[in-house]
């Protein structure tokens, strides 16, 4: 189900928000404004060190809780220190974890900037020794980046930091401890302070500190318990001890402090909300290697397609709280495909539900691992220090973005990662200049096809669209050709209307010494209702861009496909391409620019607007059109860019933007809309049918499930969208999460 998650509400204060803010200000007096000038002389010449703290399983909602009534902290927030750091520094309503929302994959994502499919740590349990270096070779953790560039790094318990690498590899931190859960929190904090006492040439530029609470108690008792609230207070007061120690050393304003968690926590009581896989696959325990729980993967011992299908089909649509996928069908946003370590069969469970085999040994009250669009799975982010802004609340972002930020703070060059350089620079008081290579050449806009080729009925060449239409039609009439002619002035007006921030451009993925050149087969077609990028060699549309508003009421549904008269005999149109292949009954011809939005019939039925899709999923495209129409009514004018992708599995992408109207300021259009008011939602809808789930998934759930980020769409398509936007505004869009918008529909699950 798709909606908001139900979390514990914050207890009401007697005098409302004003009293709450007043109390917070009073309790935060121990923090002073951060500045480099307040650092003692022996720190003044150095880069402010970074202390990165992880509170395992700290759900974003925990920050709103109050301490237990029967404790010395009665009347205070359970996480009073963290809230003070947030108020005097930078915070986000939540930070989005990577999928799956479990400990090892997310801790390693934070320090490498890589999704689990890229860094290879896809679970908490490894078949053999988890400290064997072979499992941890992918990616470069930030403590390695720091050490290899001549600086000091230290870790006090962070997954992956105590792996047994050779000293020559320099992958281990300079200082680290083997994980020991019995080590007291006080001892860990004291050691970090001792590291801060070291002389500059031995002092860590980066230190990580890990607490396994409130995760451990959340598992045992459940997140909605006093036990967890107590642990929140305990870890929070340890952070206060750390800050007090920094204050005592007169270096509290010399350290950049970052507090995060790896994931959230949800109720999952024992013996309830279970799906027994053995009920549907009786031999599953003997025939597979299965990791069970909130996120379940199944690897058949006999890894054949027949065996995978046998198990997948047996589980398909059997329980409404479980979905079964071949991993290649999982939404691109999960980034859970490109690793041999990820089994082919994956189960997606509703929040709170777990997959089991007959019985389970589970005795706890809370768990995590579910889809990262559940609000209860969201993590926290708070930062405070001389480099960070004060009293700043920023949009949520993915945890993979932290690696680049930390590298900047300690002045090292990041290794290759999945984050976007500059995505979090808006958190900083003095962000680095986003350097633009003045020698870099950018591709020009593809040429516009304007000349109308003679396609009147007296022309001897038969219409290629006759094959598609099943009738001898498909030639444009002289009247239609006259209708399609337009002045350059009108073309410019249509570019502003349909591509207000520029058309998608293909940029080279690798630096090149040669001049950037456009693909000569890519052309632009300007229509009254939409713009199209078209490949005249392959005969397929690359993208279409259009703007729709709620007052458009069109009814151009009946018609037949027409050869685009702007294509000459050396070009391949969609009709010509399709006439050369055997038509399959399972293929449907659809309109990339929806005919429902057309004001002119000739625009909608041009074969340069034709896209073939499997007939079994064409209804998803129709539902998407309905959703766009609904959104254009409720949200005002929408700009839409959509087209086919060529990655596996093939998809149709949608990038939808609108400008949020603020009545106190005035209305903006798509061109003038400020970055903070620009709303964006993107989707990657698989063209192929879901192998095991298509029969029991509604169209709207299918679309919501395949929500994507703009960064994902650029990665898949090779396009760079909105080239006319200032770089800072574009970075704002690239750093947004899939939960950042409900423009077309709400992607949150519960």
Q: How far apart are CA 408 and CA 441, in angstroms?
A: 27
Residue 318, classed as helix, strand or coil, is coil
Q: How far apart are CA 51 and CA 154, in angstroms?
A: 9
Q: Residue 492: exposed, middle, or buried by beta-carbon count in 10 A (0-12, 13-18, 19+)?
A: exposed
Q: How far apart are CA 204 and CA 196, in angstroms?
A: 7
Strands 274-276 and 379-384: unpaired
Q: What angle, rounded to 10 degrees, do the helices at 80-88 and 16-27 form?
A: 90
Beta strands in 35-95 (DSSP E): 50-55, 90-95
| Pick from 379, 388, 419: nearest CA to 142 | 419
How many other CB atoms sit within 10 Å of the CB of residue 557?
Answer: 10
Contact 219, 363 (CB under 8 A): no
Annotation says 208 is catalytic: no
**Which residues have a Cβ under 8 Å from the Cβ of 408 and sit 6 or more positions away?**
425, 428, 432
Q: DSSP letter at 573?
A: -
How many other CB atoms sit within 10 Å of the CB of residue 130?
Answer: 16
User: How is 575-586 classified by DSSP, letter by letter?
Assistant: HHHHHTS---TT
Residue for token digits 């002119």? Answer: 600
Q: Which two tokens stand for residue 370?
A: 């579910």
**Which residues have a Cβ under 8 Å from the Cβ of 569 and sit 6 or more positions away?**
453
Q: Which of 19, 81, 101, 103 is catalytic?
A: 103
| Pick from 743, 120, 5: nearest CA to 350 | 5
Q: Which two tokens stand for residue 602?
A: 């000739």
How many other CB atoms sit within 10 Å of the CB of residue 147?
Answer: 22
Q: What are phi and psi of 140, to 5 degrees?
A: -125, 110
The total number of residues written for the chain in this structure: 750
Q: How far apart are CA 104 and CA 113, in angstroms?
A: 14
**Which residues have a Cβ under 8 Å from the Cβ of 196 and sit 6 or more positions away?**
49, 203, 207, 245, 246, 249, 251, 255
| Pick from 623, 604, 612: nearest CA to 588 | 612
Q: How far apart are CA 186 and CA 194, in angstroms?
A: 12
Q: How far apart are CA 469 and CA 475, in angstroms?
A: 11
**Is the bond preceding residue 649 a cis peptide, omega within 30 degrees?**
yes
How many other CB atoms sit within 10 Å of the CB of residue 192?
Answer: 19
Chain-centroid distance, C-alpha 564: 38
Cα-Cα end-to-end distance for the chain? 6
Which residues carry out catalysis? 103
């Amino acid at each position: 189900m798709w909606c908001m998650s139900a979390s514990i509400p914050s207890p009401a204060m007697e005098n409302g928000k004003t009293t709450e803010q007043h109390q917070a200000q009073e309790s935060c007096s121990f923090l002073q404004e951060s500045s480099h000038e307040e650092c003692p002389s022996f720190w003044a010449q150095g880069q402010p060190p970074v202390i990165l703290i992880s509170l395992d399983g700290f759900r974003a909602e925990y920050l709103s809780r109050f301490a237990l009534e029967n404790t010395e902290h009665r009347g205070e927030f359970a996480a009073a220190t963290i809230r003070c750091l947030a108020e005097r520094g930078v915070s986000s309503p939540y930070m989005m974890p990577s999928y799956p929302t479990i400990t090892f994959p997310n801790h390693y994502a934070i320090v490498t900037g890589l999704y689990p499919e890229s860094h290879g740590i896809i679970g908490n349990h490894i078949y053999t020794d988890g400290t064997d270096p072979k499992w941890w070779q992918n990616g470069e953790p930030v403590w390695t980046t720091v050490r290899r560039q001549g600086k000091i790094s230290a870790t006090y318990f962070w997954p992956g930091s105590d792996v047994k690498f050779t000293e020559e590899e320099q992958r281990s931190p300079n200082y680290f401890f083997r994980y020991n859960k019995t080590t007291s929190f006080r001892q860990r904090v004291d050691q970090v302070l001792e590291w801060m006492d070291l002389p500059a040439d031995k002092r860590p530029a980066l230190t990580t500190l890990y607490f396994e609470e409130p995760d451990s108690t959340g598992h045992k008792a459940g997140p909605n318990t006093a036990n967890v609230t107590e642990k929140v207070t305990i870890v929070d007061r340890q952070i206060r001890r750390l800050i007090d120690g920094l204050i005592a050393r007169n270096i509290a304003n010399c350290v950049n402090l970052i507090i995060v968690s790896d994931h959230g926590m949800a109720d999952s009581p024992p013996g309830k909300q279970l799906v027994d896989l053995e009920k549907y696959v009786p031999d599953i325990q003997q025939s597979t290697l299965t990791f069970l729980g909130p996120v379940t993967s199944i690897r058949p011992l006999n890894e054949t397609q027949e065996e995978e299908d046998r198990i997948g089909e047996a589980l398909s649509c059997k329980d409404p709280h479980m979905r079964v996928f071949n991993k290649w069908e999982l939404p691109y946003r999960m980034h859970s495909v490109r690793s041999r370590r990820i089994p082919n069969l994956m189960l997606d469970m509703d929040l709170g539900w777990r997959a089991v085999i007959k019985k389970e040994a589970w005795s706890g009250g809370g768990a995590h691992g579910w889809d990262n669009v559940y609000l209860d799975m969201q993590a926290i982010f708070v930062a405070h220090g001389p480099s960070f802004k004060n009293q700043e609340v920023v949009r949520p972002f993915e945890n993979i973005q932290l690696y680049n930020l930390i590298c900047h703070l300690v002045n090292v060059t990041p290794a290759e990662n999945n984050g976007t350089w500059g995505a979090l620079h808006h958190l900083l008081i003095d962000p680095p200049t986003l350097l633009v290579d003045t020698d870099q050449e950018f591709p020009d806009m593809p040429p516009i096809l304007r000349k109308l080729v003679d396609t009147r009925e007296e022309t001897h060449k038969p219409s290629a669209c006759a094959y598609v239409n099943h009738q001898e039609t498909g030639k444009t009439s002289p009247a239609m050709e006259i209708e399609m002619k337009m002045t350059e002035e009108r073309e410019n007006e249509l570019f502003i209307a349909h591509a207000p921030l520029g058309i998608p451009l293909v940029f080279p993925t690798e630096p090149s010494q040669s001049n950037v050149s456009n693909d000569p087969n890519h052309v632009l077609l300007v229509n009254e209702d939409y713009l199209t990028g078209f490949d005249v060699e392959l005969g397929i549309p690359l993208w279409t861009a259009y703007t729709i508003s709620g007052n458009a009421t069109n009814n151009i549904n009946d018609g037949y496909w027409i050869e685009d008269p702007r294509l000459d005999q050396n070009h391949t149109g969609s009709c010509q391409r399709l006439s050369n292949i055997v038509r399959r009954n399972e293929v449907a011809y659809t309109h990339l620019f929806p005919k429902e939005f057309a004001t002119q019939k000739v625009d909608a039925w041009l074969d340069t607007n034709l896209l073939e899709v499997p007939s079994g999923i064409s209804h998803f495209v129709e539902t998407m059109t309905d959703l766009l129409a609904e959104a254009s009514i409720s949200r005002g004018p929408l700009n839409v860019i959509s087209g086919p992708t060529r990655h596996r599995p093939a998809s149709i992408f949608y990038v939808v933007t609108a400008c949020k109207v603020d009545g106190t300021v005035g209305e903006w259009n798509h061109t003038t809309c400020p970055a903070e008011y620009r709303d964006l939602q993107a989707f990657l809808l698989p063209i192929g049918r879901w192998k095991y789930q298509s029969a029991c998934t509604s169209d709207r759930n299918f679309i919501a499930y395949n929500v994507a980020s703009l960064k994902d769409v650029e990665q898949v398509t090779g396009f760079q969208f909105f080239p006319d936007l200032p770089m800072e505004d574009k970075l704002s869009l690239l750093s947004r999460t899939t939960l950042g918008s409900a423009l077309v529909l709400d992607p949150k699950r519960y």
